[in-house]
């Protein structure tokens, strides 16, 4: 039995249902509105399974794992819970150095991607 590997994706990657993706995103302080000089408190790496991709490039995901990768201020950061459903724009995931878990049969994924593109 072979071990599945993480495949680096470009910013323009196309997620399909059942993909397991991982990306890094900043952890922003909880504010009602963004001020220009607010900086993120840290970073976290999210690993999630793609549930659905809609026509407006929003991706529904089920969180598998969330871990803090950078916390320079030592602030208590709230992590996403396993099983929590989140919605992200595909471009947001693309900015976070995304990786996807290799499928056991990549040819099936290639067919799914080609269906998504048409």
3-state secondary structure of 116: helix
- The answer to whether 105 and 30 have CB atoms below 8 angstroms apart is no
DSSP secondary structure letter of residue 104: S
pLDDT tens digits for the chain (118 residues)? 456 789 898 877 778 888 899 999 999 887 767 667 788 889 999 999 999 988 898 999 999 999 999 999 888 889 999 999 999 999 999 999 999 988 777 666 666 666 554 4
Dist. CA 72–CA 63, nearest whole Å? 24
Q: What are phi and psi of 97, to 5 degrees?
A: 50, 65
Closest CA to 47 of 69, 29, 24: 24
Give the model's pLDDT for residue 118: 46
> Which pLDDT score, from 0 to 100, does residue 111 have?
62
Q: What is the pLDDT of residue 105?
A: 72
Residue from 38, 54, 46 nearest 81 by CA: 46
Q: What stretches of the chain adopt beta strand conformation (E)?
A: 6-8, 20-27, 42-53, 58-70, 85-89, 99-101
């Amino acid at each position: 039995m072979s071990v599945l590997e993480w495949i680096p994706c470009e910013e323009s990657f196309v997620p399909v249902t059942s993909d397991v993706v991982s990306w890094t995103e900043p952890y922003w302080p909880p504010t009602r509105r963004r001020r220009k000089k607010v900086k993120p408190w840290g970073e976290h790496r999210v690993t999630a399974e793609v549930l659905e991709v809609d026509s407006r490039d929003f991706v529904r995901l089920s969180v598998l794992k969330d871990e803090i990768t950078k916390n320079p201020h030592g602030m208590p950061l709230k992590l996403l819970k396993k099983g929590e459903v989140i919605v992200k724009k595909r471009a947001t995931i693309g900015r976070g150095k995304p990786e996807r878990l290799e499928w056991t049969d990549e040819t099936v994924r290639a067919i799914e991607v080609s269906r998504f593109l048409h």
